[in-house]
Structure formats: structure tokens, C-alpha cells
Structure 1
Amino acid sequence: MPPVPSIPLADDRTIAAADPSIGNLVKDATTHLSTLVRAEVELAKTEVAREVKKGIKGSVFAILALVILLYSSFFLFFALAELLADIGLWRSAAFGIVFFLMLLMAGFFAFIGYRKFRTVRAPKRTIDSVKETAATLRQRGSDEPRD
């Protein structure tokens, strides 16, 4: 994972001893909030990119299954034409066997694609982190006395 900016931690006693002004406190809070938002956005981008890659892999197998199915339809029609033109079943049976073999392959690739799609999940860590941040900000806002 790429490095994500973090909020610098400081000793509370050092801050209390220095007795910073309101302006400095607001500036620090704004800086920390900006860093927090950037970290949340970076986490969301990382998780979404990972899930998109999984989705692309699953779609490749689904497309492969559809291509094989499309080519299999050619053999179905070719076997039907052979059957109608040549009532003997031997040659057309061979084309039918090829058709069913290709259907099995399409089913196999469709199954693999389905399994890959099933692994795609919502960015849970990002959602949890955003909910936690929102709850913390709401809690801090309600703890402060109102004038």
C-alpha cells in the first residue's frame, strides 16, 4: 500500500505548557482535519482500485465464456446443416460432440468468472473509518459548551 499521511502525535503536557493561542489551535486543527480527509480519500482510492482489479479479472473470464459460447453456436448450426444434408449420424455426431465439449468449456470459464465476481466487496475499511470519524466529530461537537 502507498504511504498515507498521518496526523502527528504530540505530548499533551508540552502543548499545555506552551499555552498556544486560539489562532494556533485553529491552524493545527485545520491541518489535522485536512490530513485526515486526505488519508480517508487515499484509503478509499486504494480499496476501490483493488476491488476494480478483481472485477476486471472476473469480467475477463465472463467475456471468455461468451466468446466460446458464440463460437460454439457455429458448430451447432454446422452440425445441424450436416445432419439435414447427410441423414447419416456419424459426421454430425462428431460436430455435436465438439459443440457439447465447447459448452462445457464455456460453463467452466463462466464458473471461474462467477467465483471472481463473488470476491468483489465494498471498501469496508473506508466505510468504517469514515463512520468512526463522523461519530468522533459529532461527539466532540456535542461535548463543547455553547455560548
Structure 2
Amino acid sequence: MSAQPATHRPTHVAPPPSCDEAASLSTGQLVARVSEDLRELVRDEVRLARAEMAGKAKRAGVGAGMLGGAGLLALYGVGVLLAAAVLGLAVALPAWLAGLVVGVVVLAVAGVLAIVGRNRITEATPPVPERTLTSVRKDVAAVRHTR
């Protein structure tokens, strides 16, 4: 399925009838035309939202992959630095005590990071198609204005 770019907004809605045309159409025909235009507008907005969210999801996936690779390399680097810290402390303390001190410090830092991370996640808002919502709000305002 080919998604349309999020910046392109398809317009399949029929142009409004001229005064002469509107006068020749019955109320039922005008209501049917408005109903069809509204259905098409909703379909277009759904397509736009789908395309926008697909683009965001793709960019987020690539970024997450890169972050995963960076995280793995950082994990190896931290392991080497922790081993160096234990060996450095082992010069002044017994080796078992040096390992214990470094382990406690690492767990304390991990605890603080976990608390801060959990708070950030709870503050985050769910991802929404912002441009589509703005477009829908404009459409609703335009429909209300034409009444």
C-alpha cells in the first residue's frame, strides 16, 4: 500500500454547487451530496493520519535500532571501566571489598536512573498525529462557519 506524504492532503470533495445548481437540486439531493462529501473528507483524514503515523513509526524504528547498538557498546565500555575501578581500589583495599564498593555504587546509580526514567515515562504523552488533528479541527471550524 503506498502511503501519501503527510503534507499532501487529497481533495476528492466535489465543489459546492453554484446558486443555479443548488436551486435546481432538491433538499434530499443536497443532503446526500453533503453526506458523501463528509464521508470522503473523513476517509481522507484517516488516510492522512495513517500516512503520518507510518512515517513517524519508521523514523522511530531506525532511531531505536541506532540507540540499541550504542547502548550495547556503552555496556561493554562500562564493564571495562568497572573492572578498572575494582582493580584500582584493590590497590588500597582488599579485592573483595573493592568489588563490593564498586557494585554498591553501580546499583545506587541504577536505582536513581530507574526512578527518573519511570517518572519521565509517566509524564510522556501518547504519540498522536498532530498535523491531522490540526487539519480536522480546521475542517470542523469550516463546517461550523458555513452553517
TM-score, scaled to structure 1 = 0.57
Q: Which position in structure 2 is the counterpart of 1:137?
A: 143
Runs ≥4 residues deviating over 3 A: 1-5, 77-85, 121-125
Q: In structure 1, what is the Cα distance between the partners aligned to 2:130 and 2:141?
A: 16
Give the superposition deviation at 1:81: 6.0
**Cα distance in structure 2, aligned partners of 1:135 and 1:10:** 17
The C-alpha deviation readout for 1:9-52, integer Å capped at 9, x for no partner, is 365256246x1111111111110000001101111111111112
Aligned residues: 105
- Pairing 1:36-115 to 2, within 5 Å after superposition: 36-80=41-85, 84=90
Q: How does 1:108-127 map to 2 (within 5 A)?
A: 123-127=129-133
Structure 2 Cα separation of the partners of residues 140 and 14 of structure 1:
19
In structure 1, stretches of 5+ residues that fail to align are 86-120, 142-147
Task: Give the unaligned 5+ runs of structure 2.
Answer: 92-126
4 and 124 in structure 1: CA distance in 2 versus 1, 3 angstrom threshold: same
**SS at structure 1 position matched to 2:146:** helix
User: Deviations for 1:55-81, whole angstroms, at most 9, x for unmatched residues?
Assistant: 222222222221112122332344456
Query: What is the TM-score normalised by the length of structure 2?
Result: 0.57
> Which of 1 and 2 has higher RCO (CA within 8 Å, sep 6+)?
1
Identify, as 1 or 2, the structure richer in helix: 1
Is the Cα contact below 8 Å between 1:5 and 1:39 reproduced in 2?
yes
Distance 1:4 1:28, change over 3 A: same
